[in-house]
A and B are shown apart, each in its own frame.
Chain A
Amino acid sequence: EDQVTQSPEALRLQEGESSSLNCSYTVSGLRGLFWYRQDPGKGPEFLFTLYSAGEEKEKERLKATLTKKESFLHITAPKPEDSATYLCAVQAGDNFNKFYFGSGTKLNVKP
């Protein structure tokens, strides 16, 4: 059964305390893995796309990596404005017609 699992469910960090969020997946025919940020009452905001194992993408304090079984979102020296729920999503299938979201990691960065 296709599955996307994110851990931890919630993460509290002090400002400047680096950490990583995990997204593990079991799907056949991975077409892409996407990271999104979601603020309360808002729709998800696109961050990164990763298409193949070994690929890395970076933006400001965020860096996403991909292996054949999981992806990590590394947050370096986070700031309070990085507080949000981070969602990963996996696209799979011969027709790109399967799209699964994880349930997210709620990040709280304290000043």
Chain B
Amino acid sequence: DAMVIQNPRYQVTQFGKPVTLSCSQTLNHNVMYWYQQKSSQAPKLLFHYYDKDFNNEADTPDNFQSRRPNTSFCFLDIRSPGLGDAAMYLCATSRDSNQPQHFGDGTRLSIL
């Protein structure tokens, strides 16, 4: 009965090779978020969608893009991954902006 599903759980890519991470939800929530979490650090918000409205954090690198083709799915595209982009990427959803977020179990991205 997983509600926020992230695929794959582990992703290995080469330096500079584009990669896409996916997230799906069965909660029908309006808001979807992408976070980057490095070891022993706080999750850092990259961007979020309120329905189809995209909200980018000011310090999110241009290398990171996102797509939300429908309510259920959201994708994180990293156009040219660098070694510093190795991290856990967490997707979360919430019913509305001030409601608790429900997280998936993340995708751990490694860069060779």
Query: Which B residue's beta carbon lies closest to that of A48?
Result: B100
Q: Is A31 an interface residue when CB atoms closer than 8 A count as contact?
A: yes
B103 pairs with A43, CB closer than 8 A:
yes
C-alpha gap A97/B40 in the complex (Å): 25
- Return chain A residues, CB-CB under 8 Å to B98: 31-32, 51, 91, 96
Map CB proximity to A onto B26-41 as digits: 1 under 8 Å, 0 otherwise.
0000000101000011
B42 pairs with A103, CB closer than 8 A:
yes
Map CB proximity to B onto A82-107 as digits: 1 under 8 Å, 0 otherwise.
00000101010001110111111000
Assign chain B's interface to a size class: 20 to 34
Q: Is the interface of A mostly helix, strand, loop or mixed?
A: strand
Selected from A49, A95, A101, A104, the residue in CB contact (under 8 A) with B100 is A49
Which residues of B approach A to under 8 Å, CB–CB? Answer: 4, 6, 33, 35, 40-45, 48, 55, 90, 92, 97-106
| A-B residue pairs, 6 tightest by C-beta | A43-B103, A96-B97, A101-B42, A103-B42, A46-B100, A101-B43
Can you name 22 A-B residue pairings with CB atoms under 8 Å? A32-B98, A34-B101, A41-B106, A42-B105, A42-B106, A43-B6, A43-B90, A43-B105, A44-B103, A46-B101, A46-B102, A46-B103, A99-B33, A99-B45, A99-B48, A100-B42, A100-B45, A101-B44, A101-B45, A103-B40, A103-B41, A104-B40
